[in-house]
Amino acid sequence: MSIKKISQEDMTELFADMAQNAPWDSSKPLLWGYFFADQAKAKLEQAAPLLVAKGYRVVGLFDSAAQADGTPAQSWLHVEKVEKHDAASLHARNQEFYRFAEEQQIETYDGMDVGPAV
């Protein structure tokens, strides 16, 4: 199964949507959350300190139970950092995290979320 990667076009649409609808100024630093997912929690536990060394804060390591439809249990690593991005720089960050996930043999970089830096 191939996972669709986040594209430059997706980032352009995200920033256009934020400019129209977000209650914060996307031209200023914001709190960006990034997510990695794997069935093997140990891989995420090993990756966390590597991301901390790059200036990210670990929000948590979360688990889901296996689902009745056969979907296996999954773990997510959530890290965050206050950063200023535009569509191009966020696209570059996503590409960096896809490479990081591959290097660490993590199943997937699962995307990001954003909120105001408080």
pLDDT digits (tens, 9 = 90+) for 68-90: 787 777 899 999 999 999 999 99
- Tell me: pLDDT of 67 over 80: no
pLDDT exceeds 80 at position 104: yes
Q: How many domains does the chain have?
A: 1
88-95, Cβ contacts within 8 angstroms, sequence gap of 24 or more? 88/8, 88/11, 90/11, 90/14, 90/15, 90/32, 91/6, 91/7, 91/8, 91/11, 93/32, 93/34, 94/5, 94/6, 94/11
From CA 75, how far away is CA 17, in angstroms rounded?
29
For residue 23, is it within any domain?
A: no
**Residue at 25 is within a domain:** no
Containing structural domain, residue 42:
8-15+30-64+73-112
Q: What is the CATH number of the domain that holds 39?
A: 3.30.70.970
pTM for the model: 0.90
Percentage of the chain surpassing pLDDT 70?
97
